[in-house]
Amino acid sequence: MHPHDEESHGSLKSYTIGFLCSILLTVIPIAIVLNGWLEGMTRSIVLMVAGVLQLGVQLLFFMHLREEKKPRYNLISLLLGLVILVVIVAGSMWIMLYNMVAV
């Protein structure tokens, strides 16, 4: 008996929903940027919200954050996800702001 036999790893339905949400949350920002649908701060906010929602989809559907039986591991996973989010968003904003000033 393997240690993973007792744990639930999701169903085809949950993986499909997660995959479709991920695709949608990827296509929307690409369409906004390529077609120039939004300008300035509105575009930045929509792109950041899409990124945060993408993180949420990944945590819930693919990392099974809500299905863990031990809450301590849920909290550690969430904190790690938030740290990664802050590093990526803050680093991206810093790079974009630096390139706007430097040009």
Buried/exposed code over 32-43 (b: 16+ C-beta within 10 A; e: otherwise) = beeeeeeeeeee
Q: State the residue range of the domain holding 93.
A: 12-102
Q: How many other C-beta atoms can be found within 10 angstroms of the C-beta atom of residue 28?
A: 16
Q: Which residue would you say has higher pLDDT here, 57 or 9? A: 57
In a domain, 55, yes or no: yes
**CA 34 to CA 91: how far, in whole Å?**
22
In a domain, 6, yes or no: no
* Residue 3, in any domain of the structure: no
Burial class of residue 61 (count of CB atoms within 10 Å of its CB; 0-12, 13-18, 19+): buried
7 in a domain, yes or no? no
Residue 36 lies in a domain: yes
pLDDT tens readout for residues 50-91: 998 998 898 788 877 666 566 667 778 778 888 998 899 889
64 occurs within a structural domain:
yes
- How many Cα neighbours within 13 Å face the side chain of 18? 17
Tell whether 5 is covered by a domain. Answer: no
* Number of domains into which the chain is organized: 1
- Say if CB 22 and CB 58 are below 8 A apart: yes
23 part of a folded domain = yes
pTM, two decimal places: 0.66
